[in-house]
Amino acid sequence: MGPILLVLGALLLLAGPALLNPYWLRVLASVFMYAVLAQGINIMAGYTGYPAFGNVVFFGLSGYVTGILMVKAGAPFAVAMLAGVALCPLLVLAIGPPLLRLKGHYFAIATLGLNEAVKEVVSNAASLTGGGMGLSLPLPPWGPVEGGAIFYYLFLGAMLISTWGTWEFGRRRIGVACGAIRDNEEKAGAVGLHTTRYKTTAWMISATMTGVVGSINAYRLTYIDPPSVFDLAISVKSFVIFLLGGAGTVLGPIAGAFFVEMLATYTWSKLLNWHLGAMGALIILVVMLAPNGFRDALRRMPSLATLRMRILRRGDFAGKAGQ
Amino acid sequence: MLTLQVILSGILLGGLYACMAIGFSIIWGVTNLINLAHGSMIIIGAYITWMLWTRFGIDPFLLVPVAGAALFAFGYVLYRVLLHRVAVKSLFMTLILTFGLDRVLVNINLQLFSADVRAITLPYASEALELGGIRLPYIRIAVFCVALLLTYLLHLFMNHTRIGDSIRATAQNVRAAKVLGIDTARVYAIAFGIGAAMAGAAGALIAMLYSFTPVTGDSLTMKAFVIVVLGGLGSMHGAIVAGILLGVAENIVSGLIAPGYRDAVSFFLLLLILLVRPRGLFGNRYLADAKI
């Protein structure tokens, strides 16, 4: 049953450009993008237990490298993207081992500091990046309709590959090792796991995923500036999506991305002046109502049958929900 | 001479930073919340001061306690209604919830006060103490003194009152505090309120020196965090020393090296401290393991 549904779903997604108008195609492309970002968070926070709060740094960095190479060196998109994406794991290789000595709050805020530091450097290196003026990338050679479909497929591909990657990650040695690190790092080290190496590798994978969509996103928007691509809100939204989908599940981030992006698109089209607040309120609601994800929230909700049983048993509402 | 001027202004700025960071430190140390809305609470204090000053012409120095009291009430209620659900529980939740809260506050401020840059210009703002080529405005010296006074008062409160004792007891060991009959839920709310009050008072002081907009708070949160980590979580004199260090470092970088990198200083400093000495200058132990 499961695999058939998956194949059907995949076919439906592949047929997207034939069925949808450009507006919804763009919304779906954003959904896929956030699903990839959430998978990146999933690998770090869900599987490894390290809340990489500032992961958006790779999103912005890769976007900027792609843009700079295309503008200054005239590189084709594929080459520029490859370079932008490749830089992300390299950055992790350099700063990962020291940063990953930190735990919990400290790690979260250190990644946030990393994001802000890179953002400041990009803002100030105006001769290369355009600074606060932003950077305009060359327009894609495709027409608007064709381009919409191509970006749709690029993001869809990124989502499918990152989801498959997360699944592989979870069932391989590294996933198990990272799970051990999440549950008890000292013990994991004591039984002989090279914890730093596993943590760093996990973060490299997470950074690569984030970098891929950062690069595609920059080319899609054709204009980027530091506040928009190093925006912490992108990271936080990916975190919310990851939480909604349920930590450490493979398909959760996709479901979460659909829910959050659709809701966000709907609210933002209605509440122009309050879109910041609407997103904040959405975040607060998620944390309040479904702190362990959709499935848990649904599981905790008693079914109609149990409710009836309870009413029949007269007022026994205090009993355990569900099951 | 220029260097000396830059350093002295940095010290004066640092006093304000310390005052700002101590509220953050208390909230983090007691309730284990990294309050990403701290900057926005500071800005709310600034707006309260600005509003009362423009409407009624009250001297902003008299408004410092008003802003503090307003933010205390705000923080207390906020904790009781919303934050108690996630505090002391999960790290992801506290960061995400306070970030969401911050966005809501920024949006409310934008709607209430618009995105225009606001500032308070006092008639005596231009008068300055001149000492052989060095010029220090009296108002900055006054703000520095008020900031240190507030910090000292808080220190007295935490160490010499019953509530202060129960806050410290709860921060050290919740279970033992409960056994001793302390209403820990109330203590958490009070601690959050006090942190918010310090933010409000700092906001009133900031309003007198700098112009601000609803989004100014973002960088202030980060600065508060850097100071707390640098000084050591829960250490008052650590916060003062770290605040002054940050103030001086920012002034040296922006005044003598590269003006554009002013805000970057705190981030690089943060990465440096976390890597070299995560428990901070005066922290007794590394709390990252104890408080996840």
- To the question of pTM greater than 0.80 for the whole model, the response is yes
Task: Determine which helix (DSSP H) or strand (DSSP E) holds B134, and give its type and residue range.
Answer: strand B134-137
Is this complex scored with an ipTM above 0.85? no
| Alpha helices (runs of H) in chain B, residue ranges in sequence order | 2-31, 38-56, 60-81, 91-113, 138-160, 162-172, 174-179, 184-209, 217-231, 236-252, 262-276, 287-290
Tokens of A114: 């990393």
Residue A92 and residue A210 in contact, taking contact as beta carbons nearer than 8 Å: no
User: Torsion angle, CA of A152/A158/A164/A167, rounded to 10 degrees?
Assistant: -120
Q: How many CB atoms lie within 10 A of CB A9?
A: 12
Which is it for strands B128-131 and A223-224: parallel, antiparallel or unpaired?
unpaired
Number of alpha helices (DSSP H) and beta strands (DSSP E) in chain A: 17, 2
Residues from chain A that touch B95, judged by Cβ atoms under 8 A, are 51, 53, 105, 108, 239
Which helix (H) or strand (E) segment holds residue A69: the answer is: helix A56-72
- DSSP secondary structure, B199-236, as one string: HHHHHHHHHHHS-B-GGGHHHHHHHHHHHHHHH-TT-H
Interface of B with A (CB under 8 A): 28, 34, 82, 85-86, 90-93, 95-97, 99-108, 110-111, 222, 225-226, 229, 258, 260-261, 263-264, 267-268, 270-271, 274-275, 278, 288-289, 291-292
Count CA within 13 A, CB hemisphere, residue A231: 12
Query: What is d(CA B274, CA B292) in angstroms, rounded to the nearest whole number?
Result: 16
C-alpha atoms less than 13 angstroms from C-alpha of B156 in its C-beta half-sphere: 5
Residue B85 to residue B130: CA distance in whole angstroms: 53
Q: Give the pLDDT of chain B (292 residues) as one tens digit per residue.
A: 778 888 888 899 999 999 999 999 888 888 888 888 999 999 999 999 999 999 988 888 888 999 999 999 999 999 998 888 776 566 677 888 888 899 899 989 988 888 888 888 887 777 778 887 788 888 889 999 999 999 999 989 988 999 988 988 888 888 888 888 888 889 999 999 999 999 999 999 999 988 898 888 888 888 898 888 888 877 788 888 999 999 999 888 887 777 777 777 887 888 788 777 777 777 654 443 333 3
